[in-house]
Amino acid sequence: MAVDLQASAPSSPFPSPPLSPVPEKILADNNAFQYQGDLDKVKRQLGRQHIQMIAIAGCIGTGLFFGLGEILALTGPLGALLVYLHVSTVVYATIMSIGEMGAFAPISGSVIHYVARWLDPAAGFALGWNYCYYAAIAIPLEITALTAFVSFWDSNPNHTAIYVAATVVGLFIINLFGVRWFGNSEILFATLKILLAITLIVGGLVISLGGGPNHDRIGFRYWKDPGPMVSMHTALEPGATGRFLGLLVAIVPAAYSVSGFELIAIGAAESVQPRTNIIRAMKFVIFRLVFFYLCSVIIVGMLIPSNYPDLSSLSPFVLAFELAGVKVLPSIINAIVISSAYSSANTCVFTASRILYGLAVQKQGPKIFTTCTKSGLPWVAVVVAGMFSLLAFMTVSAGASTVFNWFVSLSTMCGLIGYGWTVINITYLRYYYGLKLHGIVPQGIYRSPLQPYAAMWAIFWSIFYILISGISVFWTFSASSFIASYINLPVILCLYVGYKVYHKTKMQPLAELDFISHIPTLEETGDEALLLEKVPLLQQMGIV
């Protein structure tokens, strides 16, 4: 287990701060955040290859392979490219914030722990349970998407329950056999995703240049007709206003499609050399975003007209190759997209279970969730998270499907993306300025030259995402749509205010923040080699 750095070897990269000599006493006296290190029994079993592939798998999923069609229909090909370019900047800024805090303190609970520790325990409680619910309800959503992809071959609705049951069993097997099973499965799924993405990009480029069976040279034909920025929302507002409305509506689903990078930090407590691996994963995420997402947006925009019927309900890649007359490839694509949906559900089980475990370790959740096997698997949390997969059976019945859709509405994207990213970056600013006030300079741990301005950029746009998440409802107002878009905000507010009032928590002054207790040294996590690494020339120049 991690020990107090004040008692660690002199080679520790974190010098004792001149302020707050007894931070743990201050924490115990003034708020309800109490990290119970004696209950943290997970073990470091994820290697470098696991973290790298989990980072890729977290960023590439059904949002890319399936959701891209909806965004293309909302904005047109140029609009989709602009939306993803913008969202990528916010995502990268948030990744830097999470990555730096995760490398400084690779502890169970990760993001939830940092918010509760350096911002406000009530904010950590609200964020933790919001994230947990979102990840848990996403499990049956991904299973539902998987069964929809299976219907490409088997359209018999009576078989849906069979596919759901097989998926649920598989999820329990992988997650209950240990974290290395999860890590190894994600290596497989991430490899398939990478191969598929590269195949789609290269194959799409070949088809657009006339290399398909019909030898039709498409090029940028659809950028001219129907046009680069054509939106379905021109029916609500004509002309440029409708196209701009389409851009606003597309931002939140685009942000959702690239979310999942939180996994970089969530698995830190179970990673070998977490600081080294988190820093590497963080640095390469932006290149993955640029290559996989932006290239895919360009290719899909070349191959499919944005006004194609039912584009928002189809996989644009499968549709593109079908339109080009390729017979076999659509089935291969569909098979890998199914594995992508399974991987996303698998990741959600892992995420929800580790957040439950992290909340319990810091006394913000039932203690039973800290129960671990001898190998360090929090099996109670895994079982509870996995039980949410059973909700996928509700989609088999039309009546139960309506109830299920309301469960989904409670986990709106504005709550996860808007509130979550905002709070994470605010926490980073307190972490950044707290370290500065305490005179702590973490040696060997990457610090981006873009900070703290990158965090400020992300905060501004995350709040903006909250405001526009249901903007289209104000043109054709529907009470149910309005509630579905914004109901998560009062839920989060109730969690925050309720916990704050009951436990009488307060935000600590920067001078009293705890940067010492229960944070392992570089030697304890096997990351001492970071002290010997030379700073790259580009980083010295402040370019990266």
Amino acid at 412: T
pLDDT value of residue 447: 82
Residue entry with tokens 């848990």: 136
Side-chain half-sphere of 438: how many Cα atoms within 13 Å? 25
pLDDT value of residue 7: 35
* Counts of helices then strands in the chain (DSSP H, E): 24, 0
Query: Which neighbouring-strand residues pair with 183?
Result: none
CB 54 within 8 A of CB 278: no
Backbone Cα Rg of the chain: 23
- Whole-number Å distance between alpha carbons of 417 and 421: 5
- C-alpha distances (whole Å) from 505 to each of 111, 117, 419, 426, 434 are 19, 11, 19, 18, 19
Side-chain half-sphere of 542: how many Cα atoms within 13 Å? 3
Helix (H, G, I), strand (E, B) or coil at 271: strand
pTM over 0.75: yes
**The two structure tokens encoding residue 379:** 């099996």
Cα angle for residues 15, 20, 23 (degrees, 5° grid): 90
Side-chain half-sphere of 433: how many Cα atoms within 13 Å? 14
CB 515 within 8 A of CB 438: yes
pLDDT value of residue 331: 79
Contact residues for 270 (Cβ-Cβ < 8 A; gap 6+): 42, 43, 44, 45, 46, 179, 354, 376
Amino acid at 9: A
CB 183 within 8 A of CB 47: yes
Helix (H, G, I), strand (E, B) or coil at 46: strand
Side-chain half-sphere of 26: how many Cα atoms within 13 Å? 19
Task: Describe the crossing of helices 295-303 and 68-104 by its angle, rounded to 10 degrees.
Answer: 180
Amino acid at 236: L
What parts of the chain have a pLDDT lower than 50? 1-30, 537, 540-543
Cα torsion angle, 34, 448, 264, 87, sign: positive
pLDDT value of residue 208: 84
Report CA dihedral (515, 516, 517, 522) to the nearest 10 degrees. 110
